[in-house]
Structure 1
Amino acid sequence: MFRQDPLNTILALGSGFTPTAVRVTATLRLPDLVDQGHRTVAALAAETGSDEQSLGRVLHYVSLLGLFEETTPADDGADADEQAEKQYELTDVGRVLLSEHPSNLRRWLDYDDPSRAMEARFEPAMGRLRDAVRTGLPVYEQAHGRPFWEDLEAHPDIEKSFNTGIARIANRLVPELARIHDWASAGHVVDVGGGNGSLLLKLLTEHPGLRGTLLELDSVIREAKDTVAPVADRCELVAGSFFDPMPAGADTYLIANTLHNWSDRDAARILGRCAEAVVPGGKVLVVERLLDSGKDPVMASYADLLMLVLLGGRERSMADLRGLGAGVGLTLTGSKRFELPGHWLVEFTREEAR
């Protein structure tokens, strides 16, 4: 990553300037501008309204990080300013910060983008990682005075930003989830903590023989009524907590992107409630990012630390999930990888004799 000796690599990785410089790059849309043909410091400074020398210093730094390839034309004997002669080309790393990149990462790092209110809210908690490492407990409340979920409720703008981010992930997972599992053999699915019902709507629309139940908090259920209206004749809305007894008797219980919010103890409680409710031989389906997925390991590890500081939860390996399931009478019987890097559909079957 860094074209430095080991000492300077550690200095760059540990320096506060590294994330800041990358975010300045994203905020000024430098990758977009370079991709459009503005390849000199002078041209980029003119396009962004920046001081040329200062911008050149940032460009040099992020080029060393691998975002751009920095070149200097051959010396023709002229006394031109070397800084102005430098030209920049995007690398594969830098292309991830293009505005049209499907990851939408540039907006996530853009200081000026109002949709990143939630990510900006994360940062003070991330700065308390040392305390989380010492105690094993979340530190979001230390940073903001309220636990994570209560803080969202108190700040509607931040809650909207958070929900937008979650929706982006869900929108990428939902079509594939509807396709990769044998839903035709299922009769009744309970979407546990299923948000506004968009996933359940997709499943019931594509599989007319399927019935569904959405289990969510009362405040979310009120919003979900409109979402699932097209399939209301096959969809029941139940207000409640997944830590309490669930609607019983379905053959499939789905928990998508939820277990990682919780500690092992609480995740086992959620799975245990599913195991109590599902019919013998029925399925409990878990959609999660896996630490040992073999793809996108850095993002999985990043998300793992984020769960620690925000909620005291964690990303897990396949072995972790197998162990949690076994503890509540569920046997891991299958898994399928999503195209979205790191995400898996993990299938548990309730043991016939319990």
Structure 2
Amino acid sequence: MTSEPGNGRTLLEIADLVTPMTIRVAATLGIADHITAGLQTAEQLAAETDTDADALNRVLLHLVGAGILTKDGTGRYGLTGVGEQLRMDDRLHLNGGSGRPPWLDMKTAIGRAELSFVRLLDTVRTGEVAYHRHYGTTFWQDLSDESSWDDELYALAAQQIVFDGDKVAKAYDWGALGDVVDVGGGDGTLLVTLLRAHPGLRGTLVDRAAARASQTIREAGLDDRAQTIVGSFFDLLPRGAGGYILSRVQSDWCDADVRTILGRCAEAAGPGGKVFVVDEFATDEQAQADTATDLRMLVYFGGRERTRAQVRDLAGEAGLSEESIIRVGEWTIMKLTVC
């Protein structure tokens, strides 16, 4: 089998499942961390990870051939530069460098979700969510059932907000709203950031795991200006606030669900009320280029990476019109008004 000129890989090499799965096994077992700690033979690593020495050694040998590990004449394994990225320095680190991405560790929520790609054909044929077909439950139900996975996803979301949260807080006069409802507000990181930047603002956070947000608010010393409510954005929301915020929510859901979520916000805001969608919208070019992220949304949740125009159209169907757009780095604040 020959490669196309300049391509460097055959179709079989591109479609190979062996190497991706051996990398995931190594990530899940913490092989890189154990090697760094001095456990460098297959026997030592197998004893530490409670695995079969022969089977593990065969996995490690494949990773040597893949350029992830090295092996010397005494049978001791080491890490290549690429292999260093499997170390646990920061599991939630997403932007290269050291620290394995969370989707490689099969014990994590994202790592588990990645395995549902084996059901992609079912999704293509039926439109059903691959995760549900593979596990018999939804991604969100699994998070509710497994607290460590829930913690992982909330930590990841908070990490992403921290990067640009201050810019979002300064980009709009949130204080003029008087009070806001952060709908599906996670661990409260964004709401706390807004309250700190606007001393006159009050806030309510609605989330299925509101206890986590309550702790964030309490630790920030903002109990007197914020409250939390255990609830869902598919249900009735507190009415009459100056603004309703949906941050990094829309891509996790199908079109029908996004319409419902936006409709609940519009219903609570009332005629002339304000709804803010704060997100990293894909441009048309980005949507065409970042197909992997879009497929993950499809496979995990039945969601999609949407452009601003696509969200605006769904908002229109939910009784909202776009009033203004504020761009803040990679983020966009879409201000909507209830018609």
Q: Take 1:33 and 1:238, find their aligned partners in 2: how far apart are those partners?
A: 43
SS of 2:185 mapped into structure 1: coil
Residue 346 of structure 1 corresponds to which residue in structure 2? 333
Aligned length: 317
Structure 2 residue 210 is the aligned partner of structure 1 residue 221: yes
Aligned equivalent of 1:326, options 316, 323, 328: 316
Q: Take 1:24 and 1:141, find their aligned partners in 2: how far apart are those partners?
A: 23
Aligned equivalent of 2:153, options 165, 170, 174: 165
Gaps of 5+ in 1: 71-79
Q: Is the 8 A contact 2:277 2:334 kept in 1?
A: yes
Aligned equivalent of 1:188, options 155, 161, 179: 179
Q: Take 2:190 and 2:89, find their aligned partners in 1: how far apart are those partners?
A: 25
Residue 109 of structure 1 corresponds to which residue in structure 2? 104
Residue 296 of structure 2 corresponds to which residue in structure 1? 306
Q: Take 1:294 and 1:31, find their aligned partners in 2: how far apart are those partners?
A: 37
Which residues of 2 match residues 261-276 of structure 1 at below 5 A? 261-276=252-267
Task: Please report how far the alpha carbon of residue 279 of structure 1 lies from its aligned counterpart in structure 2 after TM superposition.
Answer: 6.3
Q: Is the 8 A contact 1:262 1:313 kept in 2?
A: yes
SS of 1:287 mapped into structure 2: strand
**TM-score using structure 2 length:** 0.73
Q: Take 1:332 and 1:19, find their aligned partners in 2: how far apart are those partners?
A: 46
SS of 1:236 mapped into structure 2: strand
Q: Take 1:8 and 1:166, find their aligned partners in 2: how far apart are those partners?
A: 38
Go from structure 1 to structure 2 and tell me whether the alpha carbon gap of 1:307 and 1:332 turns closer, same or farther (over 3 Å shift): farther
SS of 1:232 mapped into structure 2: coil
Structure 2 residue 17 is the aligned partner of structure 1 residue 16: yes
Q: Aligned partner of 2:112: which letter?
A: R
Residue 256 of structure 1 corresponds to which residue in structure 2? 247
Q: Aligned partner of 2:10: which letter?
A: T
Percent of aligned pairs sharing the same letter: 33
Deviations along 1:170-211, one digit per CA (max 9) or x if unpaired, are: 233145223333234442211001134343233223321111
Go from structure 1 to structure 2 and tell me whether the alpha carbon gap of 1:210 and 1:232 turns closer, same or farther (over 3 Å shift): same
Q: Aligned partner of 1:323: which letter?
A: D
Q: Is the 8 A contact 1:190 1:214 kept in 2?
A: yes
Q: Aligned partner of 1:227: which letter?
A: T
RMSD of equivalent CA atoms:
4.2
Q: Aligned partner of 1:195: which letter?
A: G
**TM-score using structure 1 length:** 0.70
Task: Please report how far the alpha carbon of residue 282 of structure 1 lies from its aligned counterpart in structure 2 after TM superposition.
Answer: 5.2
Aligned equivalent of 1:147, options 128, 135, 138: 138
Q: Take 1:62 and 1:296, find their aligned partners in 2: how far apart are those partners?
A: 31
Residue 58 of structure 1 corresponds to which residue in structure 2? 62
Q: Is the 8 A contact 1:251 1:279 kept in 2?
A: no
Aligned equivalent of 1:234, options 193, 214, 225: 225
Q: Take 2:9 and 2:163, find their aligned partners in 1: how far apart are those partners?
A: 45
Q: Is the 8 A contact 1:189 1:250 kept in 2?
A: yes
Go from structure 1 to structure 2 and tell me whether the alpha carbon gap of 1:130 and 1:143 turns closer, same or farther (over 3 Å shift): same
Structure 2 residue 129 is the aligned partner of structure 1 residue 134: no
Q: Aligned partner of 1:292: which letter?
A: T
SS of 1:255 mapped into structure 2: strand
Task: Please report how far the alpha carbon of residue 312 of structure 1 lies from its aligned counterpart in structure 2 after TM superposition.
Answer: 1.9
Q: Aligned partner of 1:221: which letter?
A: A
Go from structure 1 to structure 2 and tell me whether the alpha carbon gap of 1:254 and 1:44 turns closer, same or farther (over 3 Å shift): farther
Go from structure 1 to structure 2 and tell me whether the alpha carbon gap of 1:205 and 1:346 turns closer, same or farther (over 3 Å shift): closer
Deviations along 1:35-63, one digit per CA (max 9) or x if unpaired, are: x8x9xxxx887996788995785245423
Q: Take 1:293 and 1:28, find their aligned partners in 2: how far apart are those partners?
A: 39
Task: Please report how far the alpha carbon of residue 107 of structure 1 lies from its aligned counterpart in structure 2 after TM superposition.
Answer: 5.3
Q: Is the 8 A contact 1:282 1:350 kept in 2?
A: yes
Q: Take 1:33 and 1:145, find their aligned partners in 2: how far apart are those partners?
A: 34
Go from structure 1 to structure 2 and tell me whether the alpha carbon gap of 1:200 and 1:293 turns closer, same or farther (over 3 Å shift): farther
Q: Aligned partner of 2:337: which letter?
A: R
Q: Is the 8 A contact 1:98 1:106 kept in 2?
A: no
